[in-house]
Structure 1
Amino acid sequence: MEPPNIMHGKHDDSSFSLGTTFRVILITALLGLAACGTTQEPRQPVDLGMSAEELYEQAWRRIQGGNFDGAMQSLRRLEARYPFSPEGQQAQLDQIFVTYLQRDRRGTAEQANRFIRENPRSEHLPYAYYMQGMAWFETRGSFTRRVLGFDHARLNIRNAERSFDAFRELVERYPDSDYADDARLRMIYLRNTMARHHWYVARHYLDQGAYMAAAARATRVVEDLQPNAVTPYALDILIEAYAAVGEETLAADTRRVLDRSYPEHRRGQRPPAL
């Protein structure tokens, strides 16, 4: 799931312009550089006379060369010297991007939050909210877990919740922005991840004989995380939990809902991993 135009703003030799196709290629290359560590360049004397355009060009060259620390220095210098200019605001946005390339989740979220806080009327707020969501978004666990077939929905889902909340804020406040459609797709994935997590917890409670705790977790899947692909499996747990505590009427009602809403569902299975 490739982020749309994750490098905000534009860049070319005469202005800030960058084509969409090139952005996608560049993101892939830059993330590869980030995985290999930051490239160092020879220390250069600080030129206090550099214009905003020259500072931005310097930052861009450093980004392309994988020198993310150097790029951050240039962007911070640009912001400090031209704080109320369009270039200063662009420097703030690009600091979010560079921090993301450095794979610093918390730093990316903090940079995005700073932009939102300091620029409450900016037209670029959708991008900042999008990058808040991207900071915490993840689709796969570690290599070892993937090889072993371990579903990362079993683990702590705090990052998924943070990501979902940021994307939801974006979609609710800016439903027609360039980032809204991609955010909606990611919300579907995250909602299913959170629902699977609660199913695992509910299943554990059920196996331990904590029937009402299992029912409470399953109810969260059914009521709070719609729509999701885990609901029929959560209804299975509700039926078992209600039956185990003698609530036969509730169990029967839930069974009728399950049969009517999911006629092809087979009982006793686990929800599929994404």
Structure 2
Amino acid sequence: MRPLQNTIKFTLLLLLTLSFSGCFWSDKEQRESITKGWSPKTFFKEAKESDSTGESIALFEQLQAAYPSSKYALQAKLEIAYRLYKNEDYNEAISNLNNYIKLYPNHFSTPYAYYLRGVISEGKSRSILDNYLTDNAQRDVGSVRDAFNYYLALIDKFPKTEYTEEAKTRLIILRNILARHELFIAIYYTKRNANIAAINRSKFIIEKYPNTPSVPAALHLMAHNYEHIGMHTLAKDARRVLVKSYPTYKPHYNLDN
């Protein structure tokens, strides 16, 4: 009986060995199918140089799956967000960046994630015709406000990064857009004889967005609306401030319906 027992043991051992060997080769083949035999650096280079946005994102995602602990996997997250932005998938791009900031709040690349959120939110508000026929201040400015707040968050959290100075410049531009948006609303109210509403909007511009190009127009519009409701002294005061502070101002809008 002992030779038979030895034969059975040997057979079982052989089967177990073959089983483990099969698992090993299966895992190895699966890993090679993910990595394509590329190193993390090669993976990143191929994804970065791809002409197709979809292919580029897919390669960056494969890189993260194949080498999740590499520095390239971390950078791939930011690259994906940027390509989503270029593909005008703004909300998904911002969602990715929010997750990145939550996971890596103090990483050296995180200021860029803050900055890119602002850039993407600005992109949401733009039209290709803005430089020729349209003005994004006349549309919904929710994404402009988001961009403004994203840049403020960057400046507050990382005041000395290379992106902070650019963010400060963008804040000036965005403040001008927001002020101009309020001015368009005040003009709209004026044309419909909603004079009190127009006056309040004009005051809001002066108080909330001082030193923007919309302030003299707001003073002029305020005086116009005060006149229409018979508050001549207040109209005179508004004109006096306008002349003193902006002596060369000429109205650049009309109130014809």
Please give the per-residue CA displacement for 1:177-196, whole angstroms capped at 9, x wherever unaligned. 11112222222222111211
Q: Gapped runs of 5+ residues in structure 2? A: 1-29
Task: Select 2:220's aligned residue among 225, 228, 236.
Answer: 236
Contact 1:76–1:91 (Cα < 8 Å) also in 2: yes
1:162-216 per-position Cα deviation (integer Å, ceiling 9, x unaligned): 2222112212322221111222222222211121111111001011011111122
Match of 1:264 in 2: 248
Partner of 2:6: none
Structure 1 residue identity aligned to 2:175? R
Q: Which residue of 2 aligns with 1:124?
A: 109
Query: What is the identity percentage for the equivalent residue pairs of Structure 1 and Structure 2?
Result: 26
Where relative contact order (Cα < 8 A, 6+ residues apart) is larger, the structure is: 1
Would you say the 8 A contact 1:59–1:70 is kept in 2?
A: no
Partners of 2:40 and 2:72 within 8 A in 1: no
Q: Which residue of 1 aligns with 2:162?
A: 178
User: CA 1:82 to 1:61, structure 2 compared with 1: closer, same or farther past 3 Å?
Assistant: closer
Which amino acid is the alignment partner of residue 86 of structure 1? K
Does the 8 A contact of 2:94 with 2:120 survive in 1?
yes
Q: Which residues of structure 1 form unaligned runs of 5+?
A: 1-44
- Count of matched residue pairs: 224
TM-score (norm: length of structure 2): 0.76
Q: Is the 8 A contact 2:90 2:120 kept in 1?
A: yes
CA 1:224–1:140 in structure 2 vs 1: closer, same or farther (change >3 Å)? same
Normalization by structure 1: what TM-score?
A: 0.72
Alignment of 1:13-52 (within 5 A): 47-48=32-33, 50=35
1:60 aligns with 2:45: yes
CA RMSD of aligned residues (A): 2.7
Question: Which consecutive segments of 4 or more residues in structure 1 shift more than 6 A?
Answer: none
More helix by share: 2
Distance verdict in 2 for CA 1:88–1:218, change over 3 Å: same
Greater displacement, 115-124 / 96-105 = 96-105
